[in-house]
Amino acid sequence: MSTRDLPAQIGDLPSIGRPATGALMSAGITTLAQVAAHRRADLLAMHGVGPKAIRILDAALEERGLGFAG
């Protein structure tokens, strides 16, 4: 599946770009609660998830009183 076929946003995740969205979807991560169960470094290791996506996810987690694991 091409990243062009992916929605720009899924679940309650903020818009982080199609490559990062695709990487999270492939890993079965579709909510901020699921993001919070992972370490920042593990998400960064996914192809398509870069520092900008992590910054956006971090801000969204913080708004909900959550944070990355570990």
Is 24 among the domain residues? yes
Query: pLDDT tens across 20-32, in order?
Result: 999 999 999 999 9
Residue with tokens 């996914």: 46
The Cα–Cα gap between 15 and 21 comes to 8
Intervals of the chain under pLDDT 70: 1-9
Is 69 among the domain residues? no
**Would the pTM count as exceeding 0.75?**
yes
Is 28 among the domain residues? yes
Length of the chain: 70
The Cα–Cα gap between 67 and 17 comes to 20
Range of the domain at 41: 3-63
